[in-house]
Amino acid sequence: MATKETYVDECAKRHGDFLIPILQDIQEKYNYLPEDSLKEVADTLNIPLRDVYGVATFYRSFSLVPKGEHVFTVCIGTACHVRGGARLAKTISRELGIQPGETTKDMQFSLETVNCLGCCAIGPIVVADGQYHGQMTSQRALDLLKKYRGEKNDSRES
Ligand code: FES
């Protein structure tokens, strides 16, 4: 009897033995790397599970816990910090009711901080679902959250 093809099988067909692209596809589909998928990847590629975890935990873009539908990342590196990056992180944290590294209970938002995104000149920076927003203010960050919540934005600041 033929067994049903799993998503990991599909990924392995697409990427062969290349672990990172397989993990990227799994991360994209589930928004994190489920433990069962990691075990299946290890079996499929015939490599030790610890090696799969080694890669999965090395890169910040991978997560072993479910993330929210929207991921907000605030840069708190030195250049952004002196322009209010930490204040932005606090504002978003207070608005969402979560700390950096956490996800809201409704799984809508995750908040993360990072120490430099390599574009200090436009800081402070907030990245929302991969889109960079430079020269952020607290008001603009709140407006951005409203936009992602699907709420009407009534701020006059652009
Ligand atoms: S410190 Fe924020 S982008 Fe470099």
Q: Over the chain, what HEC string results? A: CCCCCCHHHHHHHHHCCCHHHHHHHHHHHHCCCCHHHHHHHHHHHCCCHHHHHHHHHHCCCCCCCCCCCEEEEEECCHHHHCCCHHHHHHHHHHHHCCCCCCECCCCCEEEEEECCCCCHHHCCCEEECCEEECCCCHHHHHHHHHHHHCCCCCCCCC
Which atom of ligand 1 is the closest one to the Cα of 79?
1
Instruction: Tell me, using a 6 A CB cutoff, whether residue 123 lines ligand 1.
Output: yes
108 and 129 belong to one structural domain = yes
Q: Are both 100 and 131 inside the same structural domain?
A: yes
Report pLDDT digits (tens) over 99-122.
999 999 999 999 999 999 999 999
Share of residues in the chain with pLDDT > 90 (%): 87
- The average pLDDT across 9-17 equals 94
Dihedral angle of Cα 95, 100, 105, 107, to the nearest 10 degrees: 100
Ligand 1, atom 1, lies closest to the CA of 77
18 and 78 assigned to the same domain: no
pLDDT reading at 154 higher than 60: no
Residue 127 burial by CB count (10 A; 0-12/13-18/19+): exposed, middle or buried? middle
* In the predicted structure, residue 158 carries a pLDDT above the cut 60: no
Q: How far is the CA of 115 from the centre of ligand 1 (A)?
A: 7
Whether residue 114 has its Cβ less than 6 Å from ligand 1: no
Are 94 and 52 members of one domain?
Answer: no
Domain housing 139 = 70-149
pTM (two decimals): 0.79
Give the Å distance between the CA of 113 and the centre of ligand 1: 11
Tell whether 92 is covered by a domain: yes
Q: Which atom of ligand 1 is nearest to the CA of 78?
A: 1
What are the phi and psi torsion angles at 120 (to 5°)? -55, -30
- State residue 61's pLDDT score: 83
CATH of the domain at 95: 3.40.30.10
Residue 24 within a domain: yes
- In the chain, the percentage of residues whose pLDDT exceeds 70 is 94
